[in-house]
Structure formats: C-alpha cells, structure tokens
Chains A and B, each alone.
Chain A
C-alpha cells in the first residue's frame, strides 16, 4: 500500500514539475519584481519593441546597476532614431569598466549614423584600441559620403574584410566617378540643335518635342516673312525665340536635376549598405539573450 502511494506521489511530481521549477527561477508571485522586469525587458527587446523594453530596463536599473541593460537602452534608442539620447548613453557607458570599448565603438557608430562627419574629420585613431579596424572602416565611409577624394583606393579599401571588399570598391568607384552630366555641355548642345541637350541628359521625349516645336515656330516665322505677313511673322519669331531660350534653360536644369538624382541614389545605396552591416560594428551576443 505504501509502495502504491509512493508511485502516486511520483506521478504527481512528474506532472507538475514545471510550476515547481518556474516558481524557483522566476518570481511568479510578483510580475513586477526586478528580476521579472529584466526578463520581460529582454523578451520585448528581442521582439524589437524597444520603447517598452527600455521602460522595463529603466525600472530595473533604478535599483540594480547593470551595464548590459544600460547598453540595451542605448541600442534601443539608436534603433528608434533617438540619436541624442543614444549618444549620451553610449558616452556615459564608455566610462564603465565592462563595456568601455564596445560603448566607445557604438558612440562612433552613432555619429556615422547621424552623418556627423565633423566628428570623423577630427578623430584621432588609437592603435591599441581593439575595435580600431571598425573605426577605420567607419571613418573611410564618412569620407566617401562627404565626397572626399583625398584618400587613395588602396588606403580606402585596406581596413575592409575580403567578404565585402568588392562591394566597397564599387562604392568608391561611384564616388570618384559619379557619372554626372555636364550642365554647360547640355546648354551648348541645345543651343546648336534644340532638344539635343535634353537627349544628352536622357530625356529623349522632351528633346524631340523641343526640337519639333522650336522648328515649327521658326518655319512659320520664316514662311510668314517671305509672304510679307509681318505681324504674324513677328509673333511666330517671338514664340520661336521663347521656345529656343526655354529649351536651352530646360536642358541646363535637366542636367542639374540628373546630377542631384545620382547623388540621392548613391546616398540611399550607401545607407542601405551600412544598415545591412550595422555600420561596421559587431553585434554583441548579450543583445540576443
């Protein structure tokens, strides 16, 4: 009989262990205890719900100093675009012992993210710093985004790993040779042959229209002068001149717009690349715990 009762008890323990264990590892009686808030904060952080995660981390940190949680708050702010807060938090963490180097790196990363190129222009690299290579990569890209050509191709590519060197090289080449259209050339072409400047910039339809309209009014002007219809001839001369001038001006503007489009497209591609590689900063493992 005692043996049967022991089996019964054993079965009960097998059925209900998780409540027993759970009660030991997490305080299931108080969901707002410090440990629980930290656990919940980590759960929200993994879901990328940074705003709520930061609230939980702050509640935890009010009584329990923890560099990892503080780093996560800074990282969350960075991801949400709250750069000023992120910069301030990374800076104060860079004085801590455990995450000093990583926080400094992320401080630099945040400056690149916010296009604070002055920071990189005044940056002095420390060869003993463990993330020196990452900083060098960020610095080179800041020069790229400023359109600076002072750094040669070899020096530019040297800090990048082979896995991304080809992509980085393409960016460098696009930066050095952006394939702009010359606005003066577009204007001169349109002055010689109306519409040709626009075709040079890639607006073929506009160019043909300009050619036809200017040509038509010019023909009408000449024809009316020959037929001695002076008033109509001068009207058409005026119209032809206006369209001719407009075609030259339009070609110059079209070339400038083309160049702006090239710059914007390049900028977007660079930002996309940087985001994909987390701005060349490694993601610490504790972010995923």
Chain B
C-alpha cells in the first residue's frame, strides 16, 4: 500500500514538472512573439516619421528574426512602401510582388497588385501598368475591383498624355468624376496643332497668332512677304536663276520655318496647360493618387 502511495506521489510530481515545462516553453514563445511585435511597432514608427531608410532596416530585421513568417506580408509590403516613398520604384515593385505572393487573403493580394500598377504609373512605364490592368480584368479575384481598374487606367492614360482616353475611364467610376471634369476642361482649353499648321500654310504667321505669339507671327509674315516678292519679281524680270535661288534658299526656308514654329508653339502651349493641370492635381486633389 505504501508502494502504491509512493507511485502515485511520483506520478503527480512528474505531471507537475511537465506542466511547468510546458508553461515555460509557451512563455518563451510568447515572449519572442512580443519582441517581434515590438519590433514591428518600432519599424512602423520610423515609417510614420518618414525615416524610410531606417524603417527598411528594421522591417528587414523583423523579417530575419521572424522564423514563423508571421510578418512576411506586412514587412514586404511596408518595405515596398518605403522604397516607393523614396522613388526607388524598381525595388518597390520587387517587394510588392513578394508581398503579393506572401499575402494571406484577397484584400492584401489586391492591394499589392494595385500598388505595382501605381509604381508603374509613377515611373512612366504606362504600357506595363495598362497591361497589368488588362490582366486583372480577366482575373476572378478582381471582379469587385473593376472601378479601381478603370480609375488607374485613367491615371495611366493621363500620365502618358492621352487625356481623351483618361477622361473616358475616369467618367466610368464615381470617384473619378472630378478628374474627368478637369480633363474635359483641359481638352477644351488646348490648342489644335493641326489647325495651327493648316492656317500657317494658308497665311504665314497666322498659326503663331493663333497661339498668342504675335511678334513672331508678324516677323514670319514679313519675311515671307519680302522673299516672296523678290522671288516673283525675279521671275517676272526673267531672272530665272535668281528667282530659283531666292525662292528655294530663302522664301522656302522661311515658309517652312513658319509652319514648324506654328506647330512648336501650339505644342508648347498645350504642355503648359497640361502641366498646370497636373500641378493642380498634385497639390489640391484629395482623391487617391499613384
């Protein structure tokens, strides 16, 4: 009976030791997780205060020590955002791609993919952005994001200078209507390059008048009138060679120059108008930007 008591006491002691050891192991694990969580908080604080270089270091540190890969998505995503903030778009795209792979749900996956599109827009590889957006349309995971796809399509077209198509895609989404209206106004304000050239063909200097370059227009007109008169006068007096020389070397040169100037001035004006719009959007537009 004494042996039975001893046996039971030993059993209880062993069970107690086992329970204590399990608690210790769980605590070590829990403490490690707490350390990693603190590291994430620290890295996030650096990100918030825009210390992007140090933030990347601390996110990478977290990645290195996170053996369970619990923070894989968030660290890669945040590293990518840091690179994006520093205009290192290639690195940003690399880390957004990794975060897309490591994402654990569709929301994270979609966010990563759209960030890749936005990085492509920012670095002016608009064809890449448009190609990605087309692929998203065929992906069932993006079925509820057609609005976003059209919205970023609008941005891609706007950054590549195709305002007409940009306006079309912005107008298809409710949150893009403001941009669609601005683009519509810009299209109305722009000068027609073809019209400027056409009227310059008819009347030298007219294209430059159209774009507001009055002195240049008057000079063009004056030169063309002068050399035209001398050319016709030479032909009239049967001085064929002189007529050809003046006509080809002088009159034709100034006539072509007038057309080139009309085109150039129209394009410059249009660039000024579009740049003004882009600056306005950069400073005042409250919606989502690349």
| A contact set with B: CB distance below 8 Å | 1-2, 5-6, 9, 12, 16, 18-20, 22-23, 26, 28-31, 36, 39-40, 43-44, 49, 52, 55, 232
Contacts and interface: CB of A to CB of B under 8 A. Distances in A.
Nearest to B62: A31
Nearest to B42: A31
Contacts of B14: 2, 5-6
B181 interface: no
From B60, B65, B241, residue with most partner A Cβ within 10 Å = B65
Nearest to B38: A31
Contacts of A52: 56-57, 60
Interface residues of B, number: 22
B47 to A, nearest CB: 16
A28 B32 contact: yes
Contact of A16 (B18, B25, B241): B25
Contact of A19 (B18, B25, B39, B241): B25
Given A5-B15, A5-B18, A18-B67, A31 B60 contact: no
B68 to A, nearest CB: 9
Contacts, number: 55
B25 A20 contact: yes
Contacts of A26: 65
Contacts of B190: none
B22 A12 contact: yes
A29 B64 contact: no
Nearest to B11: A2
Given A9-B18, A9-B22, A12-B22, A39 B64 contact: yes
A258 to B, nearest CB: 33
Nearest to B58: A31
Contacts of B65: 26, 28, 31, 36, 40
B219 interface: no
A35 to B, nearest CB: 12
B64 A22 contact: no
B28 A23 contact: yes
Contact of A23 (B22, B32, B241): B32
Contact of A1 (B11, B32, B35, B60): B11
Given A16-B29, A28-B31, 4 more contacts: A5-B18, A20-B25, A40-B61, A40-B65
B67 A44 contact: no
Interface string B58-84: 001100110100000000000000000
Interface string B19-34: 0011001101101100
A1 B31 CA distance: 32
